[in-house]
Amino acid sequence: MIEVGAKAPDFSLPDHTGQLVSLSDFAGKRLLIAFYPLDFSPVCTDQLAAYQEIGPQLDDAGVTLVGISVDSAFAHKAFRDQMGVETTLLADFEPKGAVADAYGAYLADAGHSNRSLVLIDAAGKVEWVYETETPLDIPSPSAILEAI
């Protein structure tokens, strides 16, 4: 995983609507990136739903949450629509997993990222990281609340 204090690697990825979203869009703000393996898996659905529940606390702390996986923008849109997910989802689709890899969250053997959280401060530095031991584990919302 990327180290706390490191400059966050830049990225520009399409969101679930096809619009490009870049790290620079969050300049002067705190950003929480939730790397997750794939849309439409039960664990991913639970993870994003749990994070939606702490949305007000994230807002109060001035933190914007985005999810990043190797799925396409089209899959993200379908996932959001079907599952009622409100979080902005970014497609690390091509080259597959490049952003997750830059942050140290990509599992090359599996072809997707691990469940990892990266909090970036308003100056673009990594403020906090959390990585699960396995993609089957969900980083708890309480860990996020403690970090912010």
Residue 110 domain-assigned?
Answer: yes
Is the CB of residue 8 less than 8 Å from the CB of residue 124?
yes
Prior bond to 14 cis, omega within 30? no
Judged against a pLDDT cut of 80, whether residue 124 lies above it is answered with: yes
Angle at 52 between CA 130 and CA 109, to 5 degrees: 40
Judged against a pLDDT cut of 80, whether residue 45 lies above it is answered with: no
Q: Which of 13, 34, 44, 63 is catalytic?
A: 44
Is the CB of residue 115 less than 8 Å from the CB of residue 128?
no
Active site residue 44: yes
Residue 80 domain-assigned?
Answer: yes
pLDDT at position 77: 97
Residue 51 domain-assigned?
Answer: yes
Residue 4 domain-assigned?
Answer: no
Banded pLDDT at 136 (limits 50, 70, 90): confident
The half-sphere exposure of 40 on its side-chain side, counting CA atoms within 13 A, is 11
Domain that holds residue 73: 12-147
pLDDT at position 127: 98
Which CATH number covers residue 55? 3.40.30.10
Alpha-helical segments (H) within the chain: 42-53, 55-60, 73-83, 98-102, 141-147
The half-sphere exposure of 48 on its side-chain side, counting CA atoms within 13 A, is 25
Going by C-alpha positions, the residue among 95, 50, 93, 104 that lies closest to residue 68 is 93
Judged against a pLDDT cut of 90, whether residue 59 lies above it is answered with: yes
Domain count across the chain: 1
Mean residue pLDDT across the chain = 95
> E strands along the chain, which residues?
12-14, 20-22, 30-35, 63-69, 88-91, 106-107, 112-113, 116-120, 126-131
Judged against a pLDDT cut of 90, whether residue 111 lies above it is answered with: yes
Judged against a pLDDT cut of 90, whether residue 43 lies above it is answered with: no
Residue 5 domain-assigned?
Answer: no
